[in-house]
Chains A and B, each alone.
Chain A
Amino acid sequence: MTDTTILDRPKKARLTWIARVPGVAVMLVVLLALFGVMSPGFGTSANLSNVLVQSAILLIIALAMTLIIMTEGIDLSMGALLTLATIIYAATLLASGSFVMALAAALALGIAFGFLNGWLIAVADIPPFVTTLGTLGVAQGLSLIVTDGQSIVGLPRSVQFAYAGTVLGIPFPVIVAVVCYFLCYWLLYQTRFGIGISALGGNREALRQAGVNDKLMLIAVYVLGGVAAAIAAPLLCARMNSAHPTAAIGMEFDAIAAVALGGTQFERGNGWLFGTVLGVITIGVLRNGLNLLAVPSSVQVACVGFLVIVALFLDGLRSKGT
């Protein structure tokens, strides 16, 4: 009986995805058409591929955020953690000269922070938004302390490959993001772990009754968030050719916005991974288009927020309808 309760979740969720596909896709098409008309430089293939490259870092973060939000959680510390991971990556690279060491250091940091978040949420039972608000402060503080508020510069030129390089003509960040997508897809839809993620948000009690170690599973989900930040760190570092203590502050907002746009709900464990991809591209298009129209970045943030509120409003209308 309990098993069917768990297995019921994805089926029910699939119905909501179909109802939602148009929402974010329509927004994307409208934005593409709007910017295509308003700004002559927008529709060029160079610019559109630029949008994809720029969206890659956000997608890596947003995929992990999707899984976290599906457990009825949230990770407000992700932007600050990405910033700290970038700093550790750059500092280790400068000190050791080895990319492997640098990536390992960033990964170790990401896993440690993810574990800390997960432990506080799953074992100490502190609500996710407070836990990650606290660890946001910790990560931000550590970034400032390690760098003393300065940028880390003077990195070797080869660091830029992670952002500007191509493999078989495809930009390297896009490859990393696509690999991350398929890994998350496999985890979420092909493994018991994925079913467990839905159940963590949908029916945690049933999961417990079925003999699954729900605490360990929840910790693993937050560790995935830390790993995502560590994977994104070299890309961000390469993009800026430096590491700065406020580099990715606020990126968690774009990630949460992308997840919400993509139709993942903040309650009941209903999520849609490809919706997050569409959400990330929608935000990428919005920001790129506004950039071309010379709209300042702070106003872009307000536009993203507005877009999400519209999406959530439509979401509310739809759930009232059913």
Chain B
Amino acid sequence: MPMARRLVISHDVLQVVYRLIAVGILCAGLALLSDSFLTINNIVNVLRQASLVFFMASGLTLVILTANLDLSVGANVALSACIAASVIKATGSPWLGFLVGIGTGSLVGLVNGLMVTGMRIPSFIATYGMLWVAQGITYWYMAGETIHGFPPEFRAIGSGYFLGIPIPVYLMAVFLALGSFFAKRTTYGQQIYAIGGNPVAARLSGIPGNRRLVLVFVVSGAMAGLASLIFLARLNSAEGDIGDALTLPAIAAVLIGGTSLFGGIGTMFGTFVGALLLTLILNGMNLLAVSASWQPLVTGVILIAAVWLDMKTRGESAARV
């Protein structure tokens, strides 16, 4: 048993090393192609953008580790951002806004989790429905309005700096550490791996599968809520459509990071590298003056290529039940 465990970890480490090499090659290529790539400004910018993707992707990683999917993260970010924005506007209290934002995100996650466990709806259908329901509620709530202008102490979490590095980057480091610890070193985390890796064995060994599934959806929702607050603080405005283009990159980051869609395989650090890789590619396209119209196409191709490559490198045994 310890032997098998060491093998799994070394395989995971190898997968991450491959991806770090890809990051290195990409950076070298971009540095050659564009003079503005290796400037402090741009690197800080890349890290800050990657942090936004990472917040959504980290919660999503737990969901995908259980062999489920959450397609509602982008819509959830928009809904949480808009409700938090109106609360901050109305009360002037950033803390209340924080609570409401993360609370809204968690609530959406809870409903997702209950639909998947209680009603036995396949997760991609349930969360796909939630995507449109959340978007509908957001548009109705905002009625085409924009809420902007938040207190400076709130804006600091999105656009503030400490020692020259943006606050969201510190937050990303904290959540990366917390997430890795939770997934690898706690019983809950190990149970989540077990549910995705071998659902039958997990059930037979007495893991409360439904409760853990609800937990991962709530965590995914809460992280979407957190991402929404950082978005809000950085953009300094909330509109109904801010979540539209966020789901695809978040899912792509998790899958590029080597988390298997079939559950049980993947790491938080891999997702971090995935978020970094995706952000670098989109940043590079920006620097090379490629039109933003290309972004959904490129993200879509990367998403499919990542899953395909992952399945090839792991072999068919890991891919199919």
Contacts and interface: CB of A to CB of B under 8 A. Distances in A.
A138 B261 contact: no
B6 interface: no
Interface stretch (A18-26, A52-60, A122-130, A230-238): A122-130
A308 B255 CA distance: 29
Contacts of B308: 120, 124, 126
A155 interface: no
Interface in B34-89: 69, 71
Interface residues of B, number: 44
Contacts of B320: 125
B251 A141 contact: no
A301 interface: yes
B122 A266 contact: yes
A120 B307 CA distance: 11
A158 B244 CA distance: 35
Given A125-B311, A296-B139, A76 B128 contact: yes
Nearest to B244: A249
Interface in A287-308: 296, 298-306, 308
Interface stretch (B129-137, B151-159, B189-197): B129-137
Given A127-B261, A267-B122, A134 B301 contact: yes
B121 A144 contact: no
Nearest to B69: A129
Given A130-B303, A138-B297, A140-B296, A300 B136 contact: yes
Contacts of A140: 296-297, 300
Interface stretch (B12-20, B22-30, B166-174, B287-295): B287-295
Interface in A114-155: 120, 124-127, 129-131, 133-138, 140-142, 144-145, 148-149
Nearest to B299: A137
A175 interface: no
* Residue with the highest number of chain A CB atoms closer than 10 Å, among B115, B121, B316: B121
* Residue with the highest number of chain B CB atoms closer than 10 Å, among A137, A141, A302, A306: A137
Nearest to B142: A298
Contacts of B71: 129, 133
Contact of A302 (B125, B133, B261, B300): B133
* Residue with the highest number of chain B CB atoms closer than 10 Å, among A133, A148, A296, A309: A133
Nearest to B303: A134
B178 interface: no
B96 interface: no
Interface string A262-304: 0000110000000000000000000000000000101111111
B297 A316 contact: no
Given A129-B69, A149-B293, A253-B128, A305 B300 contact: no
Contacts of B129: 253, 257, 305, 308-309
A141 B296 contact: yes
A256 B126 CA distance: 12
Given A144-B293, A145-B297, A267-B122, A130 B304 contact: yes
A135 B296 contact: no
A138 B294 CA distance: 9
A142 B294 CA distance: 8
17 contacts: A74-B125, A76-B128, A124-B311, A130-B307, A148-B293, A253-B128, A267-B122, A296-B139, A296-B143, A298-B135, A299-B140, A302-B136, A302-B137, A305-B130, A305-B136, A308-B129, A309-B129
Interface of A: 74, 76, 120, 124-127, 129-131, 133-138, 140-142, 144-145, 148-149, 250, 253, 256-257, 260, 266-267, 296, 298-306, 308-309, 312-313, 316
Given A125-B311, A136-B300, A301-B135, 4 more contacts: A138-B296, A145-B291, A302-B135, A312-B125
